[in-house]
Homo-oligomer: A and B are copies of this chain.
Amino acid sequence: MQSEKITADYGKLRRWYRDACGTALAMDLIGERWALLIVRELLLGPRRFGEIRGALPGLSANVLTQRLEGMEKAGIMRRRTLPSPANAQVYELTRWGYALEEPIFALSRWAAGSPAHDVTLPLSNTAFMLSLRTMMDPRVDPAFAPDLGFRIGGEPFRAAIVQGRLAIERREPEGAGIVFVGEPLKLAATFYGPAPLAESIREGRVEVTGDLGQAQRFVTLFRLPAFPAD
């Protein structure tokens, strides 16, 4: 309907807080259901419609369309057509959209301390890789600079420690010094569980190639925050 289209711009289709506070505006912009998870899926680079859908079971196509439209209008992301011969449409964050990484990480670290945190629930490949960047201890020895590869649920990633942070790219892990291969949930159990890496390998949660000592050292950089008693 046309009246809906018109009001969709900034009018009454959605419920706005109409509050000058930044928190309220943030919730206006990315507080709708699924919005922040869609951003999360784009945080490691452009993705196609179907890739986003595949990573977010429960998100229906029409809602995804609405969110992509809304966030594009808000200046958070843009649609781009890949150059020939790919010719595919992809969605990518704007620079301002990428700046959502900090709020998302702050929220993740906070929520990971909840007693309701259930690590047996599904986890997307991107979500696992991002969790590494979120949860890595930044006080890592600067001399420890492993060359890392991952193949998570079949998707390739390449990573390195740069100034205490984990830099991640969606690229083939060929030639990396250490390569981790597995499914997101098993990998999460490996990185965030109490067992040593060797046990995870033995029980088939993860395959690791390369220097196992270095790999074990890398794994111990990750820990979930505890729920603060009160």
- A interface, CB within 8 angstroms of B: 2-3, 6-7, 10, 15, 17-29, 31, 33, 36-37, 40, 58, 74-75, 94-96, 99-100, 102-104, 106-124, 127, 130-131, 134, 185, 188, 227-230
Contact = CB atoms under 8 A, between A and B. Distances in A.
Contacts of A18: 58, 121-122
A120 B20 contact: yes
A25 B134 CA distance: 14
A69 to B, nearest CB: 15
A193 to B, nearest CB: 13
Given A21-B123, A29-B114, A75-B227, 20 more contacts: A7-B116, A15-B33, A18-B122, A20-B117, A20-B185, A21-B37, A22-B110, A23-B36, A23-B40, A24-B37, A25-B116, A27-B33, A31-B31, A94-B230, A95-B229, A96-B227, A96-B230, A100-B110, A106-B107, A107-B107
Of all A-B residue pairs in the complex, the 4 with the closest CB atoms, nearest first, are A22-B108, A26-B111, A26-B107, A21-B127
A127 to B, nearest CB: 4
B102 A29 contact: no
A22 B134 contact: yes
Contacts of A107: 22-23, 26-27, 103, 106-107
